[in-house]
Chain A
Amino acid sequence: MSTAAEPRRSVPAARALADLKVVEFGGFAAGPAIGKHLGDHGAEVIHVESRLHLDGFRTNYPPYARNQPGTERATMFAITNNDKLGVTLNLKAAGAQAVARRLMERADVVIENFTPGTMGRLGLGHAVIRERNPGLVMLSTCNQGATGPHAGRAGFGTHLTALSGFTHLTGWPDRAPALLWGPFIDYIAVAYGVVSVLAALDERSRTGRGCNVDLSQYETGVQFLAPVMATFFASGQAPERAGNRHPTAVPHAVFPCAGPERWCAISVHDDEEWRRLRAALGSPDWAADPALDGVAGRRAAEAWLEERISGWTRARAREDVVAALRSAAVHVAPVNDMSDVFRDEQLVHRRAFRLLDHSEIGRHSVPGPSFVLPATPDCVESAAPLLGQHNREVLCGILGLSEDDVADLEAEGALE
C-alpha cells in the first residue's frame, strides 16, 4: 500500500454521497457495479438478492477462494459489491414485496437490471413507487433498452460487446476478430449509469421530481464508437480491425522483450520522435536510411521496421526497454500482465486496488475509483456482504420492523 497519496487524507474527510440512500435489485455487473461507485463515496447502498435466484457473479464466475466454488467464495461478487448492506428477499412473496416497497419509498436512488417490465409486474415499478416517493430516481438498465422491437432481448456482456461493434474492430486484419475480456460493454454502461443517476439527482435538487432512466447498454457502447459510425455514414466505409497499427503514427506496435510473454508498446507520433527513438536504439545502420525520416517512408517499410525494432527489444529486459525509451521521451509502456497491475509503481501510487477482509474469502483486493477527489476521499472500507448478512440491520434497524414481523417474513419464505 502506497503512502505517497496519504497527505491528501489530511483534508477533513467528507463523504461526497453520504446523503444518498440507494437500493439495488439485480445481479452481474450492469446494475451492482453502478451501486458500488455510489457506495465507494459514502452512499448507503442496500443490495437486494435472493437465495432462490442467485447472482451469476456468485455462481458462474471463477475465481473462487481456494478454487472451491461456493456462493460466499466468489471474488467476482466481492469486487462488485463492497461497501453495501446485503439483504435477501424472495420477491415472489407478498411480504418481501412489501419490504421492497418500503425500502424504495425511503430511497433516493433505485438501480435495477432485471428484464424490462419485471419490476412493474412485481408491483415495484417507478409509476407505483413515485406516488409515495415523488423524488425517487430509478435507473433501469438492460441490453437494448425498455422500448423498441428488441426491448427485452437478453445477452451476456461479451455478446453485446460484439453487437455494438467492438469485437469486429479487435484483432488482426487477416484473422477472425478477437474477444475482449469479460463483459467489456457492461463497464461502459456502468459509467453512463452512474453519470445518469447523479445528473437525475441534480435535476431533482432543483425540481423536487425524480424520474425513471431507461439506459440501453447497447446505446452507450455505440457512443464510444461514434467516430466509427460518423465515418461510415459520411463515406459508406468504416475502419476495419488493424492489429496495433495507427493511421498516422509509425511505428505503432507491441514488441517482444527478453523472456517468455514479455511485451512492450512503442509508438512514434512524429518525425522528431522517430529521431529520438533511433538515438535510443543506438543509431543502428539500418535506421540511418533517410527514407525513414518521414512518415511515408516509415509506413512503406512498417513491417520491416517492426522486425528490426523487435530485434533490439527481444535482446533486452522489458524494464530496460521501457526505461531507455522513457528517458528519450518516446511513447512506451510495458504490457502489464495480471500480476504486474498489482506492482506497477504508478498504480500502487494511485492506490488502484484496495485490500479488504472478507470472512470467507480472506484478504482480497477490490478496485478503487479511477479518480482522486481531494476534498471528499472515497471510502472503500467494507467487504461485500454474505447472503442476507444485514437482514436484521436493515429490517429492524432501518425499517423498524419488530422481531415478530421478521419471524412472520421468515415463515412466509420472504427472506429466502
Chain B
Amino acid sequence: MPGQAVSAGRPLAGLSALDVTGQLGWLLGKILADLGVRVWKIDPPGGDPHRLEPPLLEGPAGRAGAEWVAFNAGKDRLDVDLLSAPQRVRFRDLAATSDFVFDTAAPGLLEELGIGWPQLSERNPALVMTSITPYGQDGPLARAPAGDLELMAAGGAAWLTGDSDRPPVRVTQPQAGPWASAYAAIGTLIAHHHRRATGRGQHVDASAQCAILPMLVHAPSFWETLGVNPMRAGPFLFGRNVHGAAMRNVWPCRDGYLSWALYGGPAGRQSNRGLVAWMAEKGMAPDFLLGVDWDAFDVATVTPAEVERMEAAIGPFFLTVTKRDFLEQAHARRMLGYVVAAAGEIAADPQLAARDVWRDVEVPELGRAVRLPAGWYRVAR
C-alpha cells in the first residue's frame, strides 16, 4: 500500500439512524457516522441530560462535557420528547423510514412507551435496532444498575489491573461505553449484512459486561486450563511463562515511563539483543547479560530468577534514557517498545499528523471548534 493514495471513505453513505443512547452507547452512533451513516441524535427538549458530565469544555456559547462532545461529533441533532405521546408518534414515523435505531434504555422501557422493538419492527420489518445495556436485555441482572466501574469489575478487567498492594482499578477514562459501543457496532453491521440479503432486520441485544470480556484475552484460560487465577501485578506482565515469571513492562526512565519487556519469538529475541547491545555501548551491560544466548532464549520457560537478574541490570540503564532516546534507538535497533505517552505527546506525534488524524470540529453548544481524532477508516483503491 505505501505509495498509493489513501483516503477516508464513507462506505455507508445513504443509510440513516436514530440515536437515543446515553453514555454507554454514544460511540456506536459515532462509529457509524464516521462510516457515512446519517445519525440523528434524539434529545429531549433542552438537550442531552448527560451533556454536562465533566470534565467540561468551555466556549463563548457555553459548556459541554468532553465525552459528550467527542462521542457525539458528526451526528445531527433532533429534539424529540419521548415522554410525550404525540412526540412518540413522530418518533415512530421517523423509525419507519430509518435503517437503524440505537438505544441504551432499560430493558422493556421503550416497549412500555410504545416505541420498542415490537412496535417499531411492525411498521419497519427491515429495521436493525441495537440496544446496549449494562448486562443485556434479559437474565438475572438485566435491570441491575451499573456504571463504568461496576462493568469493569463485573467483566473481570478490574481484577487484572492495578498494584498488588492496593485494590483493583479501572482505567480513569471510562472504557465500558467505548467497548460496549464498538462491539455492538459489529453486531449491528452483521445484522445489516443479513438485511441486505433478506430484507429482514432484527433486534441486536448488546451486553456491556460481555463487551469487557475481550480485555481479558487469555486470562480466563489460565483458570480453566491450569487452575491458575492471574491477578493484578502493577507494571508487570504476567501470562507469558509456564513458571509464572512476570516480566516488567513499564519502566521509569529519565523523563517518565517507557514500555518494553523481555520477550520471546524471533522478534522478541531481536528486541532483547538490541537492548543489550545498546547497554554495552554505554558500558552498562554486565558480563552475564552479554553472555546470554538469545537464540536459545525462550520467554515461556525462562525461570523467574533469571528474569529478575536480567531486569535488575536493565532498570538502572533505562533510568539514564529519555523517552525520545528510547523511541529513536528502539526503532534503529529493532527493539519492540514504545513510551508511556500522555495526551500532550499524542497530540504532538508526527505519525498522527502525517496521517491527518486531527480535525477541528465546530461545536454549537460551545460556540467554538474542538480538535478531535478523525479518519480511522482509510482505503486505497
Contacts and interface: CB of A to CB of B under 8 A. Distances in A.
Contacts of A242: 172
Given A180-B171, A225-B346, 13 more contacts: A60-B299, A62-B222, A150-B331, A156-B263, A170-B161, A177-B250, A187-B215, A231-B57, A244-B167, A341-B156, A341-B213, A342-B220, A344-B154
Given A154-B336, A180-B161, A239-B55, A166 B346 contact: no
Contact of A244 (B54, B149, B186): B149
Nearest to A153: B331
Given A17-B190, A75-B225, A191-B182, A371 B376 contact: no
Interface stretch (A63-71, A286-294, A385-393): A63-71
Contacts of B231: 261, 337
Contacts of B340: 162-163, 167-168, 177
B198 A14 contact: yes
Interface string B239-267: 11110000001101000011111011111
Interface in B161-218: 161-163, 166-173, 175, 178-180, 182-187, 189-194, 196-198, 200, 202-207, 209-211, 213-218
B169 A199 contact: no
A370 B211 contact: yes
B240 A203 contact: no
B226 A214 contact: no
B199 to A, nearest CB: 12
Given A176-B250, A222-B346, A226-B372, A60 B265 contact: yes
A62 B239 contact: yes
Interface string A303-331: 00000000000000000000000100111
Band of interface residues on B: 35 or more
B370 A233 contact: yes
Contact of A171 (B141, B169, B377): B169
A203 B70 contact: no
A373 B373 contact: no
Contact of B338 (A155, A172, A244, A340): A155
B189 A370 contact: no
Contacts of A349: 136, 138-140
A364 B225 contact: yes
A55 B376 CA distance: 27
Minimum-distance CB pairs A-B, first 5: A182-B217, A371-B187, A238-B343, A162-B259, A203-B11
Interface residues of A, number: 165
B315 to A, nearest CB: 12
Contact of A158 (B57, B155, B261): B261
Interface in B256-300: 257-261, 263-268, 299-300
Given A127-B4, A182-B216, A219-B355, A364 B221 contact: yes
A154 B263 CA distance: 14
Contacts of B205: 371-374
Interface in B45-87: 53-55, 57-58, 65-67, 69-71
B371 interface: yes
Q: Which of A190, A206, A234, A365 has the most CB of B within 10 A?
A: A234
Contacts of B381: 209, 211-212
Contacts of B141: 345-346
